[in-house]
Chain A
């Protein structure tokens, strides 16, 4: 079945460091891909999305490119801030009849130190 695999955390970085969080997926067809972020004690916030191969999603300095050939959707940011500390979830949508459901990775905790 469809699945999403993320790199294990926690990822600990110093402020202004470069961030990469790896995400690969297994799916039939061409799913849409998402990154969601969860801050402590909160729900999920949509960070970015890409709906077809070679699309690049971007938001708040974060970017991810839909790579069909490597079935990957790695999250990157050039310079992280302490406020980026959170758990990041990679997800894909699985179409079921006339609707969709999200399949999530296990999440990667990011800790940014001042």
Chain B
């Protein structure tokens, strides 16, 4: 079974621009989460989507947004880029969460490395 794929793998933008990152989950997985990884802040949760609905959101400004399509693919968008947005953006997918059995394991893609100049 193919893993989580993310495109593009590398991206260079300038301040003030916007960017869209894409994530395709493992086949059959319906939950997609996004994380930001930086040397200073480590790994931080951005948001999670399930059945095209955002269910959870981390402590990030409104410039960070996302969406999920009916085929479970997800995109995240960052508007008005700032230097501090330079990071590795990781997408993770998981099966339908089962609150009784705890099937909440998340499987990560290779990430998109964004550099803002």
Contact: B43 with A99, CB < 8 Å?
A: no
Residues of B within 8 Å of A83, CB to CB, are none
Residues of B within 8 Å of A49, CB to CB, are 105
Known contacts A32-B102, A36-B108: A106-B42 contact under CB 8 Å: yes
A-B contact count (CB 8 A): 66
Q: Choose among B55, B92, B104, B110 the residue with the greatest number of A CB atoms under 10 Å from its CB.
A: B104
Interface size for B (C-beta < 8 A) is 28
A62–B54 Cα gap in the complex (Å)? 35
By Cβ-Cβ distance, the 6 closest A-B pairs, closest first, are A100-B104, A44-B108, A104-B43, A43-B110, A43-B108, A43-B111
Interface residues of B (CB under 8 A from A): 4, 6, 31, 33, 35, 42-43, 45, 48, 50, 55-56, 58, 88, 90, 92, 94, 97, 99, 102, 104-111
